[in-house]
């Protein structure tokens, strides 16, 4: 019973940040299926995110993407979010949608284009000053499509130079978190393709530079929990972009494609005691609900992270350590699998009861009629999307 009680306490304090862009229309190069009731602006995205927090109790902040979520009155948006019971979180820069960035942004051969990209990143820090956000999240689409197209080392020099300028601008309580991705949209080299490259740049920059792990950004078969354990060991895990995939950067609901992988990842997080706020690791969803209802999709995703976390918290650490020390391979694996095979739904019902919430967030949200109401109300105007 003791483990369950401890887990309940930890699960009540879990914090999962939501991506504003998950509430807008999204898709693939083949089609973006528009959905009725989709937000038309940042205020409506914040309203939808607040619904996820209202019914789960563990999603109190919304990550923004610039320029998709740019507003004229940042103080007004901060106040509106607070009125909705949420806060504004990570600021995501965007140097992947301007025609000037065809050959890259901070790695572009032309210094004028690099300066344009750096100016955008500096503007994002101005926005962080206005929203009180801690993290500037940097994902660069930069790369090449053909061997010989550009100088691989020179691009790394340009990247390092650009990041150093931005790093200098960070305030005392601000950080930059650098996200790597194996490929896409570039298909030969990507300038920040893996955790090693991201870590080298962060170590060069300084303590306020950390690495972001996005579950969909790895080659098939990559042992992501090994990367997580290694970055936590180095004190350089800055954030997580949760989603899942069967093939590439599918951005499906976290835990939907591989719940066992999510459990293994959360076990490394729990074992490093990195769930607690002062571990300063931001856990964010980064998903695209291309065909499914978006708010319900976010609620289900939060529940999937809670389930994996609950199972990870129930691994009998002493029994595992004893079996590992004894070289009892099957014994150790059995301890690990016992936790994974534990039905934690009753524990999560208890967590929600302790938070004064309905035991089934999805059913409660559906009963609230919010989804039908916004479909009725949000008529006209331009639905939000990736603006590509
Ligand atoms: C890139 C990425 C990045 C975001 C974008 C929405 O694939 O994961 O984190 O900027 O998705
Ligand atoms: Mn991501």
Assess whether the C-beta atom of 214 lies below 6 angstroms from ligand 1.
yes
Tell me the H-state helices in the chain: 2-12, 42-56, 74-83, 111-131, 152-169, 195-205, 224-233, 259-271, 294-313, 317-325, 329-340, 345-354, 361-368, 370-377
How far, in Å, CA of 14 to CA of 305, rounded?
10
> Alpha carbon of 21 to those of 48, 51, 285, 326: distances in Å?
11, 15, 10, 48
Residue 82 has pLDDT above 70, yes or no: yes
pLDDT digits (tens, 9 = 90+) for 131-145: 999 999 999 999 999
Query: What is the pLDDT confidence band of residue 332, given thresholds at 50, 70 and 90?
Result: very high
Using the mean position of ligand 2's atoms as its centre, give its distance from the Cα of residue 281 in Å: 15
Residues with CB under 5 A from ligand 2 (ion): 214, 241, 286
Q: Are strands 237-242 and 175-179 parallel, antiparallel or unpaired?
A: unpaired
Buried b (16+ CB within 10 A) or exposed e, 98-120: eeebebbbbbbeeeebbebbbeb
CB of residue 142 inside a 6 A radius of ligand 1: no
What pLDDT, on the 0 to 100 scale, is given for residue 387? Answer: 73
Ligand index nearest the alpha carbon of residue 250: 1
- What's the 51 CA to ligand 1 centre distance in angstroms? 23
Report pLDDT for 388. Answer: 56
Residue of minimum CA distance from atom 4 in ligand 1: 139
Instruction: Give me the mean pLDDT over the 311-337 stretch.
Output: 98
pTM: 0.97
Nearest CA to ligand 1 atom 2: 139
Q: Write the DSSP symbol of residue 216.
A: T
Ligand 1 binding pocket includes 309 (Cβ within 6 Å): no
Q: Could you tell which of 24, 286, 384 is best to mutate to test the pocket of ligand 1, judged by most ligand atoms within 8 Å of the CB?
A: 286
CB 139 less than 6 A from any atom of ligand 1: yes
Ligand 1 pocket residue status of 251, Cβ below 6 Å: no
173: pLDDT strictly greater than 60: yes
1, pLDDT greater than 90: no
């Amino acid at each position: 019973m003791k483990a369950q009680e401890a887990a309940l306490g930890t699960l009540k304090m879990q914090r999962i940040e939501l991506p504003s862009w998950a509430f807008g229309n999204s898709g693939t190069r083949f089609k973006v299926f528009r959905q009725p009731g989709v937000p038309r602006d940042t205020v409506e995205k914040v309203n939808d995110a607040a619904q996820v927090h209202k019914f789960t109790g563990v999603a109190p902040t919304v990550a923004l993407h610039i320029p998709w979520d740019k507003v004229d009155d940042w103080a007004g948006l901060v106040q509106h979010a607070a009125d909705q019971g949420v806060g504004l979180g990570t600021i995501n820069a965007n140097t992947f949608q301007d025609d000037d960035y065809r050959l890259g942004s901070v790695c572009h051969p032309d210094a004028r284009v690099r300066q344009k990209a750096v100016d955008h990143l500096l503007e994002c820090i101005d926005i962080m000053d206005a929203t009180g956000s801690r993290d500037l999240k940097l994902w660069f689409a930069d790369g090449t499509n053909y061997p010989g197209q550009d100088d691989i080392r020179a691009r790394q020099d340009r990247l390092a130079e650009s990041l150093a300028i931005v790093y200098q601008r960070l305030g005392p309580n601000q950080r930059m978190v650098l996200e790597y991705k194996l490929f896409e949209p570039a298909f030969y080299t990507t300038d920040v393709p893996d955790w090693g490259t991201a870590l080298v740049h962060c170590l060069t920059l300084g303590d306020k530079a950390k690495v972001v792990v996005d579950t969909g950004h790895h080659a098939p078969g990559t042992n992501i929990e090994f990367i997580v354990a290694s970055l936590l060991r180095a004190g350089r895990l800055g954030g997580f972009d949760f989603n899942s995939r069967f093939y590439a950067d599918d951005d499906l609901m976290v835990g939907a494609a591989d719940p066992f992988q999510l459990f293994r990842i959360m076990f490394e997080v729990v074992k490093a005691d990195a769930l607690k706020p002062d571990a300063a690791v931001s856990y964010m969803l980064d998903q695209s609900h291309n065909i499914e209802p978006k708010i319900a999709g976010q609620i289900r995703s939060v529940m999937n992270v809670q389930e994996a976390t609950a199972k990870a918290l129930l691994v009998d650490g002493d029994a595992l350590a004893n079996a590992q020390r004894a070289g009892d391979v099957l014994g150790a694996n059995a301890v690990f699998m016992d936790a994974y095979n534990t039905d934690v739904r009753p524990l999560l019902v208890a967590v929600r009861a302790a938070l004064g919430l309905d035991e089934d967030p999805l059913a409660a949200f559906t009963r609230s009629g919010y989804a039908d109401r916004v479909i009725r109300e949000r008529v006209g105007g331009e639905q939000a999307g990736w603006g590509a």
